[in-house]
Structure 1
Amino acid sequence: MHRSPLALAALSTIAVPGLDVHHVQGALAPDGIDSAVAVDADGRRWVVRAPRTPAAGAALEAEAAFLAGVTDHVDSGALPFVVPRAAGSAPLPGAGRAIVHPEPPGHPLDVQRLVPGPGLTASVGRAVAAVHELPVALVEASGHPVYSAEEYRQRRLSEVDEAARTGRVPATLLRRWERALEDVSLWRFRPVITHCALSSDSILVQAGQVSAVLDFFEVQVGDPADDLAWLLASMPDESADSLMEAYQLRRTELIDPHLLERAALAGELALARWLLHGVRTQRPEVVEDAVGMLRDLDRAATELGDAGATGPVPPRPGPTVADEAAAQGPDDGEPAVQEPDYEHATPRPHADEPTTSYAVVTPDAGSGDDVAPADGTTPSKED
C-alpha cells in the first residue's frame, strides 16, 4: 500500500520515541518504497522509509543488515564518510517495517564540478576505493549477491546473449562485447564490495569532500569497474586521472591492468540492461530509449574506428532522481528551489524543498490516515 508523507511522519514517531515532528515533506526513493523527510522541533531532519511490496521490504531489510555492519567501519575511520544509521523502526501491517534514520549531511554531487587536482575529485576517488576495501563478509552476512570473477563474466555473457535475442542491438556492438567477454585475461580481478548504483543523488558532498554515501540496495561482491563506469562516463575527461590516482592510492590491491577497459565495457552493457528492463516490463518507451542510445553508441564507435571496450562510455540510462523531480515541475505558490552552494556546502536546508507544518498524531501502526494538518482539516486520500 502507498503511504503518504503524513502517515510516514506518524510512523517515525513510533519508531523513534519522543520524536516531535513539526514538518514533513515527501522524498524520492527506489521503486516500491515510500519515503519522507520529517523535521523535528529542533530542526533536525529524519528520513523515514516504508516498503510497499514484499520484494521492496526484503531489499530494505537487506540494506539495513549491510549498513548495520558498516557502521563500525565508519566509527573506526576506515570509511571517510557517513552512511545512514538506523535510529529506530516501526512494524507495518502484515509484514515488514518502516526504518528511520537521521538525514546525512551534504548536497548531491554535481559531477561537472569534478575538476583536476586533490580536492573533491580525489575525495570521490578515495570514497569509492574505501567501499571496495570493505571486507566481503559484510555482503555475505546481509544476503546480497556474491560473485567470483568467472561467475561475473558468465553473468555478463548471459545478459549479452539475452539482449542479442531481442534483435534490437547492432551486430557490431554484439561482436565487440562478445570479444571482450570471451577474453578471460580482462576478467582476472579480485572481487570486492561494489555499490552498483552510484549516482549524483547517492553521493553527498559537504565543504568540498564526500560527506555521505546512500542507497546500498544493490550492493554486491563483484567487479570494481562497475562503480567507476558511471563516474568516468559523466565527469569531465580531464579530471579522470585525478580520480583514478586517488582511487589507486587508497586501494591495497595491486593495480588491475584492465580496470578501465572493464569500466568502459560496463558503461556500454548498462544500455543492454536498460533494453532488457524495457522488454521484461513491457515498456515500449524504455525499449525505444535504449535502442536509440545503442544506435548512438554504435555510430560513435564506428566513427572512432571501432575502438572497442576502451571507447567512449555512455551515461547511465534511465531517469535520475533529479530528472524525475524536474519533470514534476515546481508547485504553484511555492518558493523556487535554491541551487546548493558547492563551494561552501552545508547540510541541506529546510528550504531545499517545500515543507508543510503538521500536527502529527501518532496512529496505530496499521493506519495510514490518522494524521491531521495543524489547521484542523482532514487530509485527502491524495496526500
Structure 2
Amino acid sequence: MTYLGEGWDSRAELVDGRWVDRRPRRAGIGPQLLRESVVMPWLAPRLPLPVPVPVVVSNEPLVVRHELVPGEELTSLNATQGRQLGEFLLALHATPVAEAEQRGVGRVTLPVERFRAEVDVPGGEEFLAKLAGLPADTLVHGDLGPEHVLGRDGVLTGVIDFGDLHIGDAAVDLAWALHATPPEFADALAETYGVTADLRARALIWYQLGPWDEVLYGNDIGDPAVAAEGLAGVRDRLRIGVFPGGELP
C-alpha cells in the first residue's frame, strides 16, 4: 500500500499498484463516497474518458476502492487535449438529470451569507450579486481542474475525483478550462463544446468564486494560512471583470 495523496475530503492510497483506496478525511464525507459508489457505475459508460468506479470494501471504517485511472496531473496543455475535454463535458452535461437525481445526486446551495461575513474584500458585494439566478439544470463534475484531469504523451487519459458531482450550472466545469489554460487548449475546447458568450461569462464568475471556498475551508479547519491564501486568490481573481485593467482599490 502506497500513499497517493489527499484533498480536502479524502485520503488516497495505491494498493498492489492497481487499486486506489479512498477514506474520508473529515466528518460528513462518508455519504459523499457512498454516493459515488452508486452513481459512477451508471455514469462511467456514458463518458468518453476513463473515470473512477468505486465500490465499498469496508463500512467501518469506510473505504471505497476503484481501479487506478491511468495518467498523471497535467503539466502542459494542447489543442488535442482541449478537444478531448470538450467532448468529455458534452457527454457529461448531456446526462439525464432526473436519472442522476434518482441515484442521489442533488443540488448545491452556495453559502453566500458565509461569503459575505467571512470574505471582506473591495468589490465583494458587487461580485456576490452576480451569483443570483445562475442556472442549476445540468449534471456537473463540480471541481474540474489540472489536478483532476489526467494525461500522458500529449493526450488525456482520464478524469478523477467526482466527490463534488451535482446538479448545477454547466459553466462551473468550464471555469478553469476557459480562464486558466493556454489559448490553444481553451480555444479547442470552446469550439468542440460550442461555448457561447453567456456561457463564457458565467464560467468567469465560477473561476472567480473558487478561492472564496478556500477561505471558508481554512476557517473551518482552523488554519489561518489556508484562509489567507484563499483571500489572496479572491483579491487576485476579482481584478478580472470587477476591476478590469487596474488594481483593487
Q: CA deviation at 1:292?
A: 2.4
Amino acid aligned to 2:114: E
Q: Confirm or deny: 8 A CA contact 1:83 1:212 kept in the other structure.
A: yes
2:58 to 78, 91, 108: 91
After superposition, where does 1:1-383 map in structure 2 within 5 Å?
Answer: 24-31=1-8, 33-39=10-16, 45-51=18-24, 55-71=28-44, 74=45, 78-86=46-54, 89-93=56-60, 97-110=62-75, 113-115=76-78, 117=79, 119-146=80-107, 155-156=109-110, 159=112, 161-166=113-118, 168-170=120-122, 172-178=123-129, 180-181=130-131, 187=134, 189=135, 191-248=137-194, 257-299=197-239, 301-302=242-243, 304=245
Letter of the aligned partner of 2:217 in structure 1?
H
How many residues in Structure 1 have an aligned counterpart in Structure 2? 246
Residue type matched to 2:77 in 1? L
CA distance in 2, matches of 1:162, 1:217: 22
Q: Secondary structure at the match of 2:121?
A: coil
Secondary structure in 2 aligned to 1:258? helix
Evaluate the alpha carbon distance shift between residue 34 and residue 167 of structure 1 in structure 2; reply closer, same or farther with a 3 A threshold: closer
Question: Retained in 2: the 8 A contact 1:125–1:247?
Answer: yes
Letter of the 2:18 partner, please give it: R
Cα distance, 1:193 vs structure 2: 0.6
Secondary structure of the 1:296 match is helix
Higher RCO (CA-CA < 8 Å; seq separation 6+): 1
Q: Which amino acid aligns with 2:57?
A: A
Distance 1:292 1:257, change over 3 A: closer
Aligned-residue Cα RMSD (Å) equals: 2.8
Encode CA deviations 1:274-297: one digit per residue, 9 max, x unaligned.
223333433322232233233334
Distance 2:235 2:29 in 1: 34
Q: What's the CA shift for 1:53?
A: 5.4
TM-score (norm 2): 0.83
- Report the CA distance between 1:208 and its aligned residue: 3.6
Q: Deviations over 1:30-68 (max 9, x none)?
A: 3453421122xxxx5121223465623222111111112
Q: Secondary structure at the match of 1:196?
A: coil
CA shift for structure 1 position 212: 1.6
Provide the rounded CA distance (Å) in 2 between the counterparts of 1:285 and 1:237.
32
Structure 1 counterpart of 2:199, which letter? L
Deviations 1:295-335 (A, max 9, x none): 334556535269xxxxxxxxxxxxxxxxxxxxxxxxxxxxx
Q: Tell me, which stretches of 5 or more residues in structure 2 are unaligned?
A: none
Aligned mates of 1:133, 1:45 — CA distance in 2: 31
- Inter-CA distance 60–223: structure 2 relative to 1 (3 Å threshold): same
User: Deviation string for 1:144-166 (max 9, x for gaps)?
Assistant: 3236xxxxxxx44x51x432333
Separation of aligned partners in 1, 2:136 and 2:115: 27
Separation in 2 of the partners of 1:82 and 1:218?
Answer: 17
Residues 208 and 238 of structure 2 are in contact (CA less than 8 Å); yes or no, is this contact kept in structure 1? no
Could you report, residue by residue, the CA deviation over 1:252-279 in whole angstroms, capped at 9, with x for unpaired residues? xxx7551111110111122222223333
Residues 171, 202 of structure 2: 8 Å contact kept: yes
The percentage of counterpart residues that share the same residue type is: 26
User: One-letter code of the match for 1:174?
Assistant: E
Distance of 1:190 and 1:100 partners within structure 2: 30
Q: For the pair shown, which has the larger CA radius of gyration, 1 or 2? A: 1
